[in-house]
Amino acid sequence: MKLRFFNALMFAALAVAAMAQNNIAEEVAWVIGDEPIFKSDIEEQYRQAISERVPIDGNPYCVIPEQMALDKLFLDQARIDTVEVQQSTISSEVESRLNFFIANLGSKEKVEEYFRMPLPRLREKLNEVYSEQYCIQQVQSDLTKNVKATPADVRKFYNGLPKDSLPYIPMQVETQIITINPVIPQQEIDEVKARLRDYAQQVNSGEREFSTLAILYSQDQSTAVYGGETGFQSRSVLLPEYANAAFNLNDTKRVSNIVETDDGFHIIQLIEKRGDRVNTRHILLRPKVSDKDLTDAVTRLDSVRNEIMEGKRTFDEYALFISQDKDSRNNNGNMLNEKTHSSRFEMADLPAEVGKKISTMQPGDISEPFVMINPKTRREQVAIVKLVKRIDGHKADLAEDYMIIKEMCEADAKEKIIRDWVIQKQKSVYVYIEEGWRNCDFKYDWLKKDNSTTK
């Protein structure tokens, strides 16, 4: 069992930091090298696992400290290898997590109260924890970077699996999509721009704070709750038009010109630049789509559907020529699952409106036009979908599920490499386990390395 990042490392690290600030004495449970594992670390991770319903495969007072000990082995190796942390990536993740805390707890003050430390100290601790996790992942990645299963490897792995251990593959579908965006009258666009110009003028004149206007009016709900602040982001994370405007800003008291992106129309205020990252506030407005605009788009796609059904053109051709879905347009309209990088979707992974249509269709069927929310832009669009293939739920099969079995084969090979590395690494690192923490069925033989057993 591997308790992942915020289920494991973060809350323990923050809890220990808070205790240290209050001068609370710590009880050591394990020592790995010169690094202690405190009882409070273990208990905090256990509490967090319970609160987030993270399953623990075994006695938590055995499983959790062993996982922490393994992390310390990897961190020791990271120091030896002088792993360089990509600070821009870490800082972006930290700001994203802080924004998440603020949004869920309600304010910066409540975040400070919850973690019992000021926000700058919390940011520092989060940076430490994210950096450690990055180092652990980098060491593991370096150890397993050459793992690549051949078809023969995959076949041998599959044939060696007990039939009752083959994973069950839920029902999957392959589907094509054509989408068009309703035509928005220029008057509506002009009205949105006029509102944004008015907001910008209020901020530039000092009449109102940008953050106040963002809370009241921005349609980006993920940032509006904390004054439109995006947190530090790199250029590659931001939409291109937004990034160009944000990185060209230099005056924190002035507001950008109106910027149009796929999300809508923005005005932007610079908060701070740090190297290749920028922290901004923004207000997003999206032109409203009228019922008439939607009806016209539905009528247009209904005509397209009829022509496909009559054989005048294929679904693939219309997808290429008229679809406004950028991800599928140049792939014959085939939807791509971003989670698996394949054309297959479990029903839960499809956009809700698409899944609802597909659930009642047979392979080859084309839906009637329907309105859906673009999951990326959160804007209304009209779509038709074609069910290409339905694969019923089944035990994994080599012919049908080769890529899934290939991933299992490579994961097994990586696990063996990591296991062998840990066994060798244990031989060169001091290990001490306190009485009361030894009566465990550990995954690795730590007691053999426990120097206390020789005293």
Q: pLDDT tens digits for 411-430?
A: 999 999 999 999 999 999 99
Whether residue 221 is contained in a domain is answered as yes
pLDDT tens column, 355-392: 999 999 999 999 999 999 988 888 899 999 999 999 99
Q: Do residue 51 and residue 121 come from a single domain? A: yes
| Helices and strands counted in the chain (H then E) | 16, 13
Q: Phi and psi of 206, rounded to 5°? A: 85, 5
Whether residue 407 is contained in a domain is answered as no
Domain hosting residue 319, numbered range: 172-181+290-395
Whether residue 158 is contained in a domain is answered as no
Tell me what pLDDT residue 400 has. Answer: 84
| Whole-number Å distance between alpha carbons of 245 and 281 | 12
Domain with 104 in it: what CATH number? Answer: 1.10.4030
Average pLDDT of the chain is: 88
Whether residue 160 is contained in a domain is answered as no
Q: Do residue 302 and residue 377 come from a single domain? A: yes
Q: Do residue 337 and residue 416 come from a single domain? A: no
Q: Please choose, from the candidates 101, 33, 113, the residue with its C-alpha nearest in 3D space to the C-alpha of residue 68.
A: 33
Q: Do residue 21 and residue 124 come from a single domain? A: yes
Domain with 321 in it: what CATH number? Answer: 3.10.50.40
Q: Do residue 325 and residue 177 come from a single domain? A: yes
Whether residue 352 is contained in a domain is answered as yes
Choose the final residue of a domain: 234, 255, 285: 285
Q: Do residue 60 and residue 22 come from a single domain? A: yes
pLDDT tens column, 87-132: 767 877 887 788 788 877 888 888 888 888 898 898 888 889 899 9
Whether residue 405 is contained in a domain is answered as no
Tell me what pLDDT residue 16 has. Answer: 46
Choose the final residue of a domain: 395, 426, 446: 395
Tell me what pLDDT residue 449 has. Answer: 59
Better pLDDT: 141 or 377? 141
DSSP state of 184: P
Q: Please choose, from the candidates 451, 446, 395, 443, the residue with its C-alpha nearest in 3D space to the C-alpha of residue 425.
A: 446
Q: Do residue 265 and residue 372 come from a single domain? A: no
Better pLDDT: 340 or 220? 220
CB-based burial of residue 196 (10 Å sphere; 0-12 exposed, 13-18 middle, 19+ buried)?
buried
Q: Please choose, from the candidates 207, 258, 263, the residue with its C-alpha nearest in 3D space to the C-alpha of residue 239.
A: 263
pLDDT tens column, 255-269: 999 999 988 999 999
Q: Please choose, from the candidates 354, 49, 57, the residue with its C-alpha nearest in 3D space to the C-alpha of residue 178.
A: 354
Q: Do residue 275 and residue 323 come from a single domain? A: no
Choose the final residue of a domain: 285, 312, 335: 285
Whether residue 154 is contained in a domain is answered as no
Q: For the chain, how many structural domains are there in total?
A: 3
| Whole-number Å distance between alpha carbons of 125 and 20 | 13
Q: Do residue 61 and residue 198 come from a single domain? A: no
Whether residue 406 is contained in a domain is answered as no
pLDDT tens column, 22-73: 444 579 999 999 899 999 989 988 987 887 788 888 999 999 999 999 999 9
pTM of this prediction? 0.68
Tell me what pLDDT residue 50 has. Answer: 86
Q: Do residue 73 and residue 207 come from a single domain? A: no
Tell me what pLDDT residue 452 has. Answer: 52
Q: Do residue 191 and residue 280 come from a single domain? A: yes
Q: Do residue 63 and residue 141 come from a single domain? A: yes
| Whole-number Å distance between alpha carbons of 429 and 80 | 13
Task: For residue 404, give both structure tokens.
Answer: 């899934």
Task: For residue 91, give both structure tokens.
Answer: 């800082």
Residue 410, pLDDT > 90, answer yes
Better pLDDT: 26 or 185? 185
